[in-house]
Structure 1
Amino acid sequence: MAKIQTGQTTHEHDGAIGVFLIGMRFNRLHRPDQWGPVFMAMPRMLAELYGNRAAAARGEAEDLGFLGARTLLGGKGVTVVQYWRSVEDLYRYASAPDHEHRPAWTAFNVRARKAQGVVGIWHETYAVPAGAHESIYDGTPVIGLAAATSSVPVPSRKRYARLREAAATSAEDQ
């Protein structure tokens, strides 16, 4: 079980980030032959991305720009929140034929044409400029953006969002 942190923490990352939400919806649960392969593609992609992150940290691979992810289950589907160094890094990964995403996307499109409406997929991409992201965690394990970057205590002078925003604005003005 993940260790619960006491006290308020935040993430530490000063640059821009890309946030990518991707989800799948089970429209016809009785058709695992169609949604099963889609469901299994994401763990392979995440394993590749985390493996690359570790290899890049050791200097053994080119860094793809993936920072981390969180998987959420609910209702009739799955959502994965991914954090990237930039939206450009995300797009580069998504279009690369030698990585897991491109073949999985091609296979999904072939399958979807044969069984329309059985499984739905969606995504949203956000380019978040430096200074335009903030986070607070209180009584949680290290999760979200803090897990993707690093977790640090919230300085008392920046305990409230309006003070963090004011500090960021002041830093940008200098």
Structure 2
Amino acid sequence: MAQEIFPGRFTADIGRESVTVFLIGMRANRWWKIGKVARVASAMPTMLRHLAEHPESGMLGCEQWFGRTTMLLSYWESLEHLRRFAADRDSPHVGPWRRFMKEVSGSGDIGVWHETYQVPASGIEVVYNGMPQFGLAKATSHVPVGPGSNTAKQRMGSSSAPRMGSARPN
């Protein structure tokens, strides 16, 4: 299914004080062990379905890339939401993580990594030009660039520029 392309410039209206950005991925170090790689990789679609069906879990949205090193970029309401999901025994995360640690970790066959960032809204700048809804704008609110958000400095939340959604003095 083709995604709608939005001509022109768009940005994100984040609508919150901060966003938790979580990057996670895996690397097939020994690609010929495809069975092991597939078993580890198969856990992610189940987790993403669960998160989509449970918006109260706090994941706002995500983007994925596949290859020898696979990556998922996700946006969360808060660090606490992310931690709660990761530790919840009823979520589809704990079981696969334990199996990985028991069966694969330390073998060198598959590498797993993650990075977490707590980003204040004032430290975020995004712009999309001629793109389908993507990234943070897809996860929050996709809005046209306009007065108060024309420049990177304005979008970044400089103290001299109004924040999106705030009244602009005349």
Would you say same fold, with TM above 0.5?
Answer: yes
How far, CA to CA, are the matches of 1:20 and 1:166 in structure 2?
Answer: 22
Contact persistence 2:124–2:156 (CA under 8 A): no
Which residue of the other structure, out of 78, 81, 85, is the alignment partner of 2:70? 78
Greater fraction of residues in helix: 1
Match of 1:49 in 2: 51
- In structure 2, C-alpha distance between the alignment counterparts of 1:155 and 1:91, rounded to whole Å: 36
In structure 2, what is the equivalent of residue 93 of structure 1? 85
1:133 aligns with 2:134: no
Number of the residue aligned with 1:18: 20
Q: Is 1:110 the equivalent of 2:111?
A: no
Q: CA deviation at 1:170?
A: 5.4
Mapped partners of 1:137, 1:108: distance in 2 = 37
- One-letter amino acid of the counterpart of residue 10, structure 1: T
Paired-residue identity, %: 37
Whichever residue aligns with residue 60 of structure 2, its letter is L
Q: Confirm or deny: 8 A CA contact 2:25 2:112 kept in the other structure.
A: yes
* Gap regions ≥5 residues in structure 2: 164-170
Inter-partner Cα distance in structure 1 for 2:154 and 2:89: 45
* Residue-by-residue CA offset, 1:103-144 (whole Å, 9 max, x unaligned): 11101111115x701111000000011322121000110010
In 2, the alpha carbon distance for the partners of 1:98 and 1:66 equals 16
* Local SS of the residue matching 2:115: strand
Give the TM-score normalised by the residue count of structure 2: 0.88
Q: For 1:86 and 1:166, how far apart are their aligned partners in 2?
A: 20
Partner of 1:69: 62
List, as ranges, runs of 4+ consecutive aligned residues in structure 1 with deviation greater than 3 Å.
165-172
SS in 2 for 1:14: coil
Deviations 1:53-75 (A, max 9, x none): 2xxxxxxxxx111101100124x
Q: State the Cα RMSD in Å.
A: 1.8
The size of the alignment, in residue pairs, is 161
Question: How many Å separate the matches in 2 of 1:118 and 1:77?
Answer: 13
Residues 34 and 111 in structure 1, CA contact (< 8 A), matched pair in contact too: no
TM-score by length of 1: 0.86
Structure 1 SS opposite 2:54: helix
